[in-house]
Structure 1
Amino acid sequence: MAPKLSEDEIDDLLYFARTGDKAEFNALKDELCKRENVREGRLLEAAREEESGNGILHMAAANGHSDLLCELCKSLYAPTGPQNPELLSILNSQNKAGNTALHWAALNGHLEAVKVLLEEGADPTITNQRGHDAVFEAEVNDKREVVEWVLKEGGEVLESGVAGGEEREREGEEVGDEDEGMEEGSGKEDVMGEDGVAGEGSAKLEKKLGEMDI
């Protein structure tokens, strides 16, 4: 049975994930899990913003809180091993724009968060509603460190999933309030970036793949 969370409780969980306040987040998470008699995974699945579909991992990833992401993933480990259906489902959960936590970490250039998500089993081949995977978003937002690391470390999985030589149409539209986070102390919105020119990102990624020994 899904936990019954109030709108304020969901907002608080998302806010603490967004700011990376682990102490406040864990205190509220433990209190709600005990009250609702649910495991952490059920709470993470339920704590989503209704309008945007954003979850706790989206907020932590968008703002580069790799330590919180690592802690959350470890809390979902199964007795038989780290990766399990529940963890993978939460890791790869898409918001209403089709973006996963990995999309957000990649396009905002948060390499350590990208590393945690991929190491825990995030799928880099998932595309959002624009047909963009996480590495493509990083590429068109000029997050070169993320692109180069992921392409080098991702191996054959990324080679088959990234870009794929497929033409991508330019939409030139910034994702708005439904798809944004906030970096604490930055004074600016940490939003999903604009789309690139059709095919440009794909061509660059294919060239990088050809040059790199992966």
Structure 2
Amino acid sequence: MPMSQHKAPIALSFEAIDDLIYDARSGDLDALKTDIENLSKEHGCSAAAIIESAVDTEEESEGGTGACLLHWPAANGNIEILSYLLTTLSSASTPSSIINHCNHSGNTPLHWAALNTHLDCVKALVEAGADLDVKNDAGHDAVFLAERTAWSTEQKEAEEKKNEDEAEAQAESGEDKENGTRKISKGEEVVEWLLGCEKGAGLESGVGAEGEGESSGNSESKGEEMEGVEKTNA
């Protein structure tokens, strides 16, 4: 599927884009700042323009992701790099569409942050203007991905408890022995925040308490296997 129609303001070389993506993926903030500064001087443009232009446009069949620089720290939970990129983009004279850029699977940086249950990154993206209504190629928004992650974690924990005694099961499920409540998972925290924020007023839960929904039980969600991304358990 085609990526969102974001027009790169600067024609960066493949090598330059590859270096920037490597910096963002590996979490090397100093190298990322240096490379962006050098490219900004080389092309006589703003740092924001370099960030907007650094998109992996290689075909998916050739190993390309279609991701922009924001995707990687969002997926890996690197709030420091994500904040730097968002702050730099905010200095531009006009709002950038790169924050809602869809990769080859239709996933935005917000999709990746929600899928990997990084609440700080989710908050930063939404506050910077990320659109909560965007659906990926599988028809899922960020809320659905976060909720399914939470539900999958809950199912896994339930399966692990089958052959354990009650006391051990209670400890592993995170139940509070004093009041019998279950600790909320990272995925559930993301869902609750998204549904409770101002932009999420019209959104609805996708999976539901019983794990039912448009694709509960379906392991396919394009973009879940992300090269260079550290998967986070909810």
Superposition TM-score, scaled by structure 1 size: 0.73
Q: Which amino acid aligns with 1:110?
A: H
| Counterpart residue number, 1:95 | 103
Q: Which structure: larger Rg? A: 2
- Distance in 2, matches of 1:92 and 1:114, equals 13
Once superposed, which parts of structure 1, at least 4 consecutive aligned residues long, lie more than 3 Å away?
Answer: 161-165, 174-181
Q: CA 1:92–1:174 in 2, change beyond 3 Å: closer, same or farther? A: closer
Q: Whole-Å Cα distance in 2 between the matches of residues 181 and 111 of structure 1?
A: 20
Partner of 1:172: 219
**What's the counterpart of residue 20 of structure 2?**
13
1:92-149, Cα deviation, whole Å (9 max, x unpaired): 1111111110110111011111111111111111111111110110010111121122
Aligned partner of residue 228 in structure 2, secondary structure: strand
Higher helix share: 1
Q: 1 CA distance for matches of 2:31 and 2:70?
A: 16
Alignment of 1:51-70 (within 5 A): 51-70=64-83
**C-alpha contact (below 8 Å) 2:73/2:81 kept by paired residues:** yes
Letter in structure 2 aligned against 1:146: V
Partner of 2:183: none
Pick the aligned partner of 2:95 from 85, 88, 91.
Answer: 85
Where do 5+ consecutive residues of structure 2 fail to align? 1-7, 58-63, 151-186, 208-212
Q: Percent identity?
A: 40
Matched-pair contact (CA < 8 Å) for 2:110–2:142: yes
- The structure-2 alpha-carbon separation of the partners of 1:40 and 1:178, relative to structure 1 and needing over 3 Å to count, comes to farther
Gaps of 5+ in 1: 184-189, 192-214
The count of corresponding residues between Structure 1 and Structure 2 is 178
RMSD: 2.7
Contact residue 139 and residue 147 of structure 1 kept, 8 A? yes
- Select which of 27, 40, 47 maps to 1:33: 40
When normalised by structure 2's length, the TM-score is: 0.67
